[in-house]
A and B are shown apart, each in its own frame.
Chain A
Amino acid sequence: MFSNKLMRRQAGFAYLMLVPGCILLLAFTFYPIFRGLPLAFTDYSVVDTTHWTGWANFKRAFADGNFGLALQHSLFYLIVVPVLQILSILMAILVNNKLRFITFFRVAYFVPVVTSMVAAAIAWKWVYEEQGILNYFLLKFGILDQPVSFMVETRLALYGVMFVTIWKGLGYYMMIYLAGLQSIPSELQEAARIDGANWWRTIWHITIPLLMPFVLLCSLLSMMGAIQVFDEVFVMHGPLGDPAYTTLTTSIYSYKVAFQDFEFGYAATLGLLVSLIVMVLSIFMFRYTRKGGLTYYE
């Protein structure tokens, strides 16, 4: 193995390389978290004087019907996670082939990722409305006899937003999985094929297990994105979660509490509670994906 001297040299070099990044992380990531935590125990409003309120914010949160509703919707939103991941893995595998016109398809799948949410929301509203394009086709093909508004029908509104999330997320995760596919030595897949494994078996037994670190990363990201979904809900259904609060999510509610009611302290409390849930879910995911390759190959 390596000598002690080499080890020390390596450690010194490692710390040196870590310094610049760590300084920035400490300043702009750790410090705000550290400063933000105590806010949950205050009535901080930015503009007015601040008092310690102890557990009052937490008590309020547990009795707050709106927060309960928002939490329910946010947790329900998690169903986009598996859908997104499975579809984007399939898309990545599909697009990783050298087929004719594949560049076009890669771009086509990537376009939603880069379209601004504001413009996308206008487009999707136009799809979902009572007089929108989706109803136009559904009526034309006789699937519906009465137009349905996917914007105001309470049972459909949240699904409508979920679909936008999936639409916008597919290309993003596809990209990460593409990067992941590159790190799988192609010899392994070839070997499997030579052994007579079919396409499906190769994917399931070789590709997916080796993609696990990326599956973990992407699942974590989309899990947090789902629980804290904001942009698409905000631009499509406003700060109150129209219609009738059916699209109210925790982030939307926190935003309203912080920036419209100026109750930053309470918003911090809500943020803390949500992140506790995220933490539990993350631990779950680490377990399930066998730490997702966070252990070392060495």
Chain B
Amino acid sequence: MTSKFRYTALTVICTLMVSVFAACGSGNKEESSGSPSASASSSPEASASPSASPEETPKKDITLQFWTISLSPNFDDYINGRIKKFQDENPGITVKWTDLPYDAMENKLLTSIAGGKAPDVVNLNTGMTMTLAGKNALVDLNAEATEDQRSIYFENLYNSAKLGDSVYAFPWYYGLNAFMYNKELYEKAGLDPAKPPTTWDELKEQAVTIKQKTGKYGFVPTYNPPADLYFSGVPVISDDKKKMIINTPEALEWVKWNKALYDEGVVPKESLTADANYATDKYQSGQIATLTTGAAFLSRVKTNAKKVYDNTLVAPMPALKTGKYHAGLMNLVVPEKSKNHKEAIALANFMTNDESQLEFCKIVNILPSTKKAAADPFFTEAGDDPESKAKIITAQEAAQAQDFTLGVKDEGKILESLWKNWQKMLLGKMTPEEYLSQSEAAAQKVLDEVNKANG
């Protein structure tokens, strides 16, 4: 009796296990019988456009995987609309859009490449683009894209993903910093709100006044030491890419200026690690008088703190010594392992063309990387609200905008010491002089290794 019961139970268990695996197995066959380039895409999906074209041209039926970072759900309509247009213009191509949460991109991208499921078009920032390009993982657009496709972008933005003679990304959107300030706090500090700072020294002076009169901080610097130095007139790397040039008088002046700013308590202690999120939070809570981030962050202030927003005035951001502004670019790249280079490049180009970018800029406060889109009257049309003012001001700055890259492999590793020692220097564990000399030596060492390894 009992043994019968036992064996029945065991049979049930075994059947269960087998069926689990069987279910898995059958799922496999279903999926892999489709096009091998993107096996998973044959499954019905809901995220892409509703007009997924039925397979009319089975011969040239290509599915492109298009990955972006954190654009959903706010920009669903925009992206889906553009994808639909692309599909209409290119019959036989289906685009499957996957928007990934910020933290998941690196993991998903690497596992997918390892599993042979490389996406066709991916949205990456310049740093990540350069690292992947250095590992030969991206398509060289100078070699595979057409002149027509390449010529729509501002040259210096297009070249920010340059490595040797190759360029590995189409530039997409970017933001520039505007100087946004709280009128009420300025008045409280006895400053004239009609006279925003035009230089960094004035910025500091005003911040000191604000601190003395109101007890609040004047501004939060968000540091990017390599780019800050570059835009302060430090060459950073020689033209032949053999020598690091960091320890210059201009560099020392900039570093000392920042050190003094931090030591004198003009800026919050957390500036050390502050990013735009921190700055925006403090600005909208009225704890800091100015917001020196990208104009896109203003919309956050608008939703979260209407009172502060209504009190906000906008002015151009004081430029660093070179008069240039740092443009943190978002790019679209095509992984080398994509099976449809031509179509993928076409999609990447389409998503970043004049029309696409202009439409994007109209829904969020960012700037286009293409010449024609930037020339659109939209960017000069005045409005009275802080957001449109910020748009006009950053669009004017755009002529002087540039991303910063070294243009050599393993850029992240070479520049690491500049980042690493920056905080040590501000915290007083290193003098500005030591900061520059030690960072330069460390960067030079890595650069030599990189140059040696690449012949």
Q: Does B429 interact with chain A (Cβ within 8 Å)?
A: yes
* Chain A residues with CB below 8 A from B424, complex form: 244-245
Decide if B273 touches A259 in the complex (CB within 8 Å).
no
Interface contact A260-B135, CB-CB below 8 Å: no
Q: Does B427 contact A (CB under 8 A)?
A: yes
Interface range on chain A: under 10, 10 to 19, 20 to 34, or 35 or more?
20 to 34
Interface pair B131/A20, CB less than 8 Å apart: no
Q: Which residue of chain B lies nearest to A129 when distances are taken between CB atoms in the complex?
A: B270
Cα A259 to Cα B268 in complex, Å, equals: 31
Q: A242-B423, A244-B424, A244-B427 are in contact. Are A45 and B270 (CB under 8 A)?
A: no
Q: Which residues of A contact B113 (CB under 8 A)?
A: 46-47
Instruction: Give the shortest distance, in Å, between B409 (CB) and chain A (any CB).
Output: 11
Q: A41: CB under 8 A from chain B?
A: no
Which stretch (A137-145, A149-157, A176-184) binds chain B? A149-157
B291 to A: closest C-beta gap in Å: 16
Query: By the criterion CB–CB under 8 Å, are B273 and A237 in contact?
Result: yes
Q: Are A151 and B270 in contact (CB under 8 A)?
A: yes
Contact A131-B106, Cβ < 8 Å, known A48-B135, A242-B423, A245-B420 = no
Contact with B along A104-139 (1 / 0, CB 8 A): 000000000000000000000000011100000000
Interface flag for A225 (CB, 8 Å): no
Known: A47-B137, A240-B420. A260 touches B273 (CB 8 A): no
29 A-B pairs, CB-CB below 8 angstroms?
Answer: A20-B13, A46-B110, A46-B113, A47-B110, A47-B132, A47-B137, A130-B268, A131-B282, A149-B268, A149-B269, A152-B272, A152-B273, A152-B427, A243-B272, A243-B273, A244-B423, A244-B424, A245-B420, A245-B424, A259-B107, A259-B110, A260-B131, A260-B412, A261-B131, A261-B410, A262-B110, A262-B131, A262-B132, A262-B135
> Which residues does chain A contribute within 8 Å of B270, judged by CB atoms?
129-130, 149, 151-152
Contact flags B420-452 to A (C-beta < 8 A → 1, else 0): 100110010100000000000000000000000
A261 and B414 CA atoms in complex are apart in Å by 11
Contact residues of A: prevailing secondary structure: loop
Does A7 reach chain B (CB closer than 8 Å)? no
Query: Hey, what's the 0/1 contact readout for A16-52 against B, CB within 8 Å counting as 1?
Result: 1000100100000000000000000000011110000
| B430 to chain A: closest residue by CB | A244
Indicate the size class of the contact surface on chain B: 20 to 34
* B257 contacts across to A, CB distance below 8 A: none
- Report B410 CB to chain A, min CB distance, Å: 8
B114–A46 touching, CB < 8 Å: yes
Chain B min CB distance to A80 (Å): 23
Q: How far is the CA of A20 from the CA of B287 in the complex (A)?
A: 59
Contact flag A238-B268 (CB < 8 Å), given A20-B13, A46-B113, A261-B131: no
B75 at the interface (CB under 8 A from A): no
Residue of B nearest to A245 (CB): B420
- Inter-subunit contact B268/A242 (CB<8 Å): no
Per the bound structure, the CA–CA distance linking A46 and B135 in Å amounts to 9
When the two chains form the complex, which single residue of B135, B282, B420 contacts A47, counting CB atoms closer than 8 Å?
A: B135
